[in-house]
Amino acid sequence: MFLSSFISINLCNKVAGFSQAMPKRWIICKYDNDLARSISVSAQISDLTAALLVSRGIQTREAADTFLNANLKNHLRDPFLLPGCREVAEHLLNAVNNRQKIVVYGDYDVDGITGIVILRQVLKDLGADVDYYVPSRFDEGYGLHSEAVIKLAQNGVKVIVTVDCGISSVEEAKTAAEHGINLLITDHHTPEAQLPAATAIAHPQLVRFAGKCVSIPSLAPEEIGLAERYPFPFLCGSAVALKVAWALGQLAFNGPGKPVPPSFRERLTEMVGLAALGTVADFVPLQDENRALVRGGLPYLYSHKSSAGLKQLFAVSKYVAGKTRLDAEYAAFQLAPRLNAAGRLGQAGLAVELLIGNDLKRATELAKEINELNESRKMLERRIAKEAEQQIHDRFDSVHDSAFVLVGDWHRGVVGIVAGRLADRFHRPVVLLGRDKMGNIPAVGSARGVTGFNLYAALASCRQFLINFGGHEAAAGLTIAEGQIDAFRAAFCGIVAGQITEEARIAELFIDGIFPLGAFTRSTVGQILSLAPFGSANPCPVFVAEGVLVQNAKTMGKDNNHFSAEFRQHGVSFRGVAFNRKTWFDEMQPFNQPMDIAFRVRISDFSQQVELDILDWRRELS
């Protein structure tokens, strides 16, 4: 079946003898066949590629060209267009010229860590007296803290520039002013009506109105349409830091639009790679500037000019130059988790030190330590996931409950990962709260949402039960007193129930097309992969093949957690793997009955042959 015959269908009704925690509704995407054919001809691309572009909202040849050829030179906007970027850069340059002590204060995740390194390195190159500060995930928690601001002021710091945090730090900005610190905020999280009274704020979601940078919620309805917006408000924290660094370089060397010295240009190029890593790790939409940044920036992460620390990070991540693809998937699942592990286990400073380090011996030690932290993180994650799933089974209705608010004696640095996986599995918002065994200190947790639900707004509606919270539509962090957990659970689940129907809580798997396996030649798969980098807002295409037979099925992996088999149809067969689906070995039997499979395609790094990532399957009623 070709893409022109797409229809929306619910294949859950075809299930027979198949048991799964949460069934999925398969949605076959519709698209405009005439538009796809027109783009195919005008852009000189295959019908399949054009159809996939149209299904992703591409409407013109120009948009198709931009998408397929996104690059750093043509698709990264002038940093001075970003609201507040010029002002922040000017104040930083003034601090450099006046030898004022500067601290780059950033969050402890990959986005914050890479953003810290970007600004710290560029400021250092300009001769700044600059250091960095990463709050402890456990002793301080996310964001800017008044205690830290006071401590820094006592140590002679005159300028604090934040990365990936600060937009909600109203009280902390007052503390900074009281202690003679110029607070410069660079952030990308959702701004509220009241902004911190900082010296300057660079933020892609702010707008310019009446000569000032303000938040949209602070404007009257009739004023919103008159405000000047940044064209792409979805940059991550490290990308905002890159914009500030870029603007700083232009101001330092002869003004906006003028060339910068080759050495500084090389530094910015190196920093583009880190911003690309932060973009992938923070799961912002891989569209527009983010797509250009990741597509063009990731290759700069690994080069002869990369720091010793970066090279050692690649070494412990089992990267093999010339064989391993340095793509968004590798960045997201190999590099980012290792850096994140340091922050999750309270040692984010190690990750910053690794990325800025050029001493090979120290870099090797740091990379090894960070890799060991990542192994510890995975063990904690498995334990928490097992206990959280048991809690859902024992105390909740996994079919009818609108959301899960789970509490345990869990490591606070790891609950966000587990919350995300549970939200994906059960297709509803999940909040995981980690508390100490005695319940004497507030519980700290992470929340993860689902498509179409504004998690940040829901938490804002429950703010009376929370000590603090922050985040965006899809992910957030929160702190809550032990005595408020039950009231928060009732209020939060009530909000979710009012916005997400029971029908909507059935997970949906969006299918790009139904094709025979024979359609996926190596050449065709190469065309499909030209749409990468894949991620948020540009998912890897998913296809269905009908009437497929399974052969040579087995479990695999260190703990036999994965399923693999040969999938055969009309004389064509491919190896397919389903990760963390060992139960399918029993559920698919008998293997001599045809089934429909939903899958992604890829080229194996090892065999260089087409392989399938199996996402779901259905057996038709006999």
User: What is residue 10's predicted lDDT score, i.e. its pLDDT?
Assistant: 33
Within-domain flag for 485: yes
Within-domain flag for 44: no
Q: Residue 422: give its domain's CATH number.
A: 3.10.310.30
Q: What pLDDT band is residue 4 in, cutting at 50, 70 and 90? A: very low
C-alpha distance from residue 246 to each of 79, 352, 359, 431, 453 (Å): 7, 20, 26, 38, 35
Within-domain flag for 214: yes
User: What is residue 503's predicted lDDT score, i.e. its pLDDT?
Assistant: 76
How many domains in the chain?
Answer: 3
Same domain, 487 and 612: no
pLDDT digits (tens, 9 = 90+) for 146-194: 999 999 999 999 999 999 999 999 999 999 999 999 999 999 998 999 9
Same domain, 418 and 559: no
pLDDT digits (tens, 9 = 90+) for 89-141: 999 999 999 999 999 999 999 999 999 999 999 999 999 999 999 998 878 87
DSSP assignment string, 183-231 = EEEE--SPP-SSPP--SEEE-TT-EEETTEEE-GGGS-HHHHTTSEE-S
Same domain, 424 and 537: no
Q: What is the mean pLDDT of the chain?
A: 90
pLDDT digits (tens, 9 = 90+) for 386-410: 999 999 999 998 878 899 999 999 9
pLDDT above 80: residue 3:
no
Same domain, 246 and 171: yes
User: What is residue 19's predicted lDDT score, i.e. its pLDDT?
Assistant: 32
Q: CA-based angle 309:310:316, to the nearest 5? A: 90
Measured CA to CA, the distance from residue 384 to residue 376 in angstroms comes to 12
Of 459, 481, 505, the residue that ends a domain is 505
What average pLDDT does range 463-484 have in this prediction? 89
Within-domain flag for 164: yes
Same domain, 486 and 528: no
User: What is residue 370's predicted lDDT score, i.e. its pLDDT?
Assistant: 97
Q: Residue 11: give its domain's CATH number.
A: 2.40.50.140
Same domain, 472 and 556: no
Q: Which of 247, 245, 206 has the alpha carbon at shortest distance from 229?
A: 206
pLDDT above 90: residue 323:
no
Same domain, 478 and 513: no
What average pLDDT does range 541-560 have in this prediction? 92
What average pLDDT does range 345-353 have in this prediction? 93
Within-domain flag for 141: yes
The DSSP H or E segment spanning 267 is helix 262-281
What average pLDDT does range 586-614 have in this prediction? 91
Q: CA-based angle 511:517:523, to the nearest 5? A: 95
Q: Residue 146: give its domain's CATH number.
A: 3.90.1640.30
Six-digit token pair at 483? Answer: 């005595």
The DSSP H or E segment spanning 549 is strand 543-556
Look up the pTM and report it. Answer: 0.86
Of 449, 484, 505, the residue that ends a domain is 505
Same domain, 498 and 588: no
pLDDT digits (tens, 9 = 90+) for 232-285: 999 999 999 999 999 999 999 876 666 778 889 899 999 999 999 999 999 899
What average pLDDT does range 6-25 have in this prediction? 41
pLDDT digits (tens, 9 = 90+) for 225-234: 999 999 999 9
What average pLDDT does range 420-440 have in this prediction? 85
Measured CA to CA, the distance from residue 168 to residue 176 in angstroms comes to 14
The whole domain housing 158 covers 79-260
Say if CB 276 and CB 290 are below 8 A apart.
Answer: no
Of 226, 260, 294, the residue that ends a domain is 260
Q: Where are the beta strands (DSSP E) in 376-487?
A: 404-408, 430-434, 443-448, 468-471, 475-480
Q: Which of 521, 467, 462 has the alpha carbon at shortest distance from 487?
A: 462
Q: What pLDDT band is residue 2 in, cutting at 50, 70 and 90? A: very low
Measured CA to CA, the distance from residue 434 to residue 415 in angstroms comes to 7
Q: What pLDDT band is residue 437 in, cutting at 50, 70 and 90? A: low
pLDDT digits (tens, 9 = 90+) for 45-65: 888 889 899 988 899 999 999
User: What is residue 440's predicted lDDT score, i.e. its pLDDT?
Assistant: 57
Same domain, 451 and 597: no
Same domain, 11 and 144: no
Within-domain flag for 594: yes
Same domain, 527 and 433: no
pLDDT digits (tens, 9 = 90+) for 328-337: 999 999 999 9
User: What is residue 620's predicted lDDT score, i.e. its pLDDT?
Assistant: 64
Q: What pLDDT band is residue 72 in, cutting at 50, 70 and 90? A: very high
Same domain, 578 and 494: no
253-267, 283-297, 357-371: range with lowest mean pLDDT: 253-267
3-state secondary structure of 82: coil
Q: What pLDDT band is residue 465 in, cutting at 50, 70 and 90? A: very high
pLDDT above 80: residue 22:
no
pLDDT above 90: residue 462:
yes
Within-domain flag for 558: yes
Q: Which of 64, 66, 4, 68 has the alpha carbon at shortest distance from 34?
A: 4
User: What is residue 20's predicted lDDT score, i.e. its pLDDT?
Assistant: 43
Within-domain flag for 14: yes
What average pLDDT does range 515-525 have in this prediction? 91
